[in-house]
């Protein structure tokens, strides 16, 4: 059993639920774009948005650039609200696990690709975030996972060696980067699978 001193959670897709198909479609319909066009544009500019290099108005302005829309900024603000809410619904099982770790004095970090609009929303809505030991957000770091730079920035903030940490993320590319840097990892595919891996492979300071 490997002893872990700090557990690092991804936010979107682990602590929060993935965006549902219905939420995605509602956002697409509000943008009034064809499915294939919307998907391509939605993800093309997302790295800039999540890196904090552009704000929500600029990001959605690029997505909607081919549409002539009166009062476009009003529509964009509606889309931002819908999109943010769709990515930030809490996975109650995982957050209870976070709290249980805290009860036995395990250090907790969040390492997340997240833009400023979503970050403002979760910091205002989820006051328990104030009690998370370390928070590393892509929009503040100006880089996103799977770039190894953000993992190195994380290590510099938490002051643990990668082999003392457990990194949990739902995206395989992020897991690969973390493993290459020496982190212990779990590729999150569901809560039951997560618990099984934790209980079979790791032990924690208390």
> For residues 183 and 160, what is the distance between their CA atoms, to the nearest angstrom?
10
Evaluate the omega torsion of the peptide bond into residue 118 and state whether it is cis, within 30 degrees of 0.
Answer: no
Q: pTM here?
A: 0.95
Give CA 141 to chain center in angstroms.
13
Is the sign of the CA dihedral 126, 107, 197, 12 positive or negative?
positive
State pLDDT tens for residues 111-168.
999 999 999 999 999 999 999 999 999 999 999 999 999 999 999 999 899 999 999 9
Using alpha carbons only, how large is the chain's radius of gyration in Å?
18
Would you put residue 164 in left (φ > 0), alpha (ψ -120 to 50) or beta? alpha
């Amino acid at each position: 059993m490997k002893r872990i001193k700090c557990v690092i959670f991804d936010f979107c897709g682990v602590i929060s639920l993935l965006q549902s198909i219905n939420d995605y479609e509602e956002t697409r319909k509000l943008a009034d774009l064809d499915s294939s066009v919307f998907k391509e544009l939605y993800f093309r500019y997302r790295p800039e948005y999540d890196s904090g290099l552009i704000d929500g108005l600029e990001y959605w302005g690029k997505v909607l650039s081919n549409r002539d829309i009166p009062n476009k900024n009003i529509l964009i603000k509606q889309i931002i609200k819908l999109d943010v809410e769709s990515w930030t619904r809490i996975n109650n099982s995982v957050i209870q696990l976070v709290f249980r770790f805290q009860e036995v004095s395990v250090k907790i970090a969040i390492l997340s690709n997240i833009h400023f609009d979503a970050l403002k929303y979760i910091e205002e809505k989820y006051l328990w975030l104030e009690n998370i030991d370390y928070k590393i957000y892509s929009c503040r770091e100006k880089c996103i996972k799977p770039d190894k730079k953000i993992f190195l920035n994380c290590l510099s903030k938490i002051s643990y060696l990668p082999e003392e940490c457990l990194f949990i993320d739902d995206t395989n590319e992020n897991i690969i980067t973390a493993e290459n840097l020496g982190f212990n990892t779990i590729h999150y595919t569901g809560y039951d699978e997560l618990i099984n891996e934790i209980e079979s492979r790791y032990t924690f300071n208390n």
